[in-house]
């Protein structure tokens, strides 16, 4: 009988070995070693806001989550998502800050929250309200296959969402059913943003932040950005790599393009640190803005 998967190994076992992936890993290891030898710390210590996000925290990933947070705590101050947004908007970035988020609303977020609490780190969990509490296994299986390219993973229910919120974590919107915003009509886009905002606000009392699914700039649009803020959200996040520094001049919330680095907890820790250091190395005022 099919069941929800509980380990990341079950996903890896479904993916054939890739020579290209091995070469990429070797190249990243070389770049990471070079950074270590030539001053990784100086980049990690640059004042900035860095957002990292995950999708899942399976049982065999929890050790690495704890390990990653321990490493990052040496150079960064962990802050809640909303506080991170405020620092950027108000040009008050005075040291290295780090904010964590998680997309898609999987039940294993509860395990991630337990690890985060050990470091007094509060995350923002971006959910698809149309999937919260979904118990139909075949529907979940189809959604995970078609939208997330994963085997079936169990979703949170609303009681669990409220538990996360009660623990001090924030709840954000991620469209109703993990939609590619670039493919929605104007009417669909407006309806989805409003429904996502209203359902989460009804259950949680408030909702401020939005992250669009898939996360690259070509999955979004200027119309999408307008619909997000018209619905009532006060921030909008991507999955584009980067970090944030103080902006020259005043930033309005609808101008701020939040960049978040995707992390799979099975990855080599040195690779993650290399990407973060590279973000700091390439930091720019323009990185705070949407390209639209």
Render pLDDT for 17-71 as a digit per residue (tens, 0 to 9): 777 888 999 998 999 988 888 889 999 999 999 999 999 999 999 999 999 999 9
pLDDT tops 80 at residue 165:
yes
CA-to-CA distance for 96 and 90, rounded, in angstroms? 16
Give how far the C-alpha of residue 230 lies from the chain's centroid of Cα atoms, to the nearest Å. Answer: 22
pLDDT band at 233 (very low <50, low <70, confident <90, very high): very high
β-bridge partners, 172: 126
- pLDDT more than 90, % of the chain: 91
Q: Do the bridges between strand 260-262 and strand 77-78 make them parallel or antiparallel, or are there none, so unpaired?
A: unpaired
pLDDT tops 80 at residue 102:
yes
Q: What is the DSSP letter of 250?
A: P
Enter the pTM of the model: 0.96
Mean pLDDT for 209-238 is 98
- pLDDT of 22: 87
Mean pLDDT for 75-102 is 98
- pLDDT of 21: 84
Burial pattern 132-144, b for ≥16 Cβ within 10 A else e, equals: bebeeeeebbebb
Classify 233 in phi/psi space as left (phi over 0), alpha (psi -120 to 50) or beta. beta
- pLDDT of 38: 87
Mean pLDDT for 71-89 is 98
Distances (CA, A) of 290 to 73, 207, 235, 237: 29, 22, 12, 10
- pLDDT of 251: 93
Tens digit of each residue's pLDDT (9 = 90 or more) over 106-155: 999 999 999 999 999 999 999 999 999 999 999 999 999 999 999 999 99
Tens digit of each residue's pLDDT (9 = 90 or more) over 242-266: 999 999 988 999 999 999 999 999 9
- pLDDT of 271: 97
pLDDT band at 173 (very low <50, low <70, confident <90, very high): very high
Give me 246's structure tokens: 């103080």
- pLDDT of 59: 97
Do the beta carbons of residue 78 and residue 115 sit within 8 Å? no
């Amino acid at each position: 009988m099919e069941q929800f998967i509980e380990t990341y190994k079950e996903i890896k076992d479904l993916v054939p070995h890739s020579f290209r992936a091995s070469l990429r890993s070797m190249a990243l290891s070389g770049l990471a070693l070079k950074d270590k030898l030539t001053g990784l710390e100086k980049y990690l210590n640059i004042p900035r806001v860095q957002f990292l996000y995950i999708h899942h925290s399976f049982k065999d990933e929890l050790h690495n989550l704890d390990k990653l947070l321990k490493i990052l705590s040496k150079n960064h101050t962990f802050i809640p998502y909303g506080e991170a947004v405020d620092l950027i908007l108000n040009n008050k970035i005075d040291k290295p800050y780090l904010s964590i988020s998680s997309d898609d609303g999987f039940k294993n977020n509860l395990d991630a929250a337990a690890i985060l609490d050990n470091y007094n780190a509060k995350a923002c969990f971006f959910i698809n309200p149309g999937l919260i509490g979904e118990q139909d296994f075949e529907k979940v299986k189809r959604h995970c296959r078609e939208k997330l390219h994963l085997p079936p993973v169990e979703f949170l229910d609303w009681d669990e969402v409220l538990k996360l919120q009660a623990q001090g974590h924030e709840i954000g919107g991620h469209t109703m059913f993990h939609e590619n915003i670039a493919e929605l009509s104007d009417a669909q886009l407006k309806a989805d943003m409003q429904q996502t905002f209203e359902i989460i606000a009804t259950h949680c009392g408030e909702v401020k932040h939005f992250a669009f699914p898939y996360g690259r700039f070509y999955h979004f649009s200027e119309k999408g950005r307008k619909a997000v803020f018209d619905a009532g959200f006060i921030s909008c996040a991507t999955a584009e790599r980067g970090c944030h520094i103080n902006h020259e001049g005043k930033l309005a919330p609808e101008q701020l393009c939040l960049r978040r680095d995707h992390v799979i907890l099975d990855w080599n820790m040195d690779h993650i640190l290399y990407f973060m250091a590279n973000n700091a190395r390439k930091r720019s005022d323009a990185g705070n803005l949407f390209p639209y």
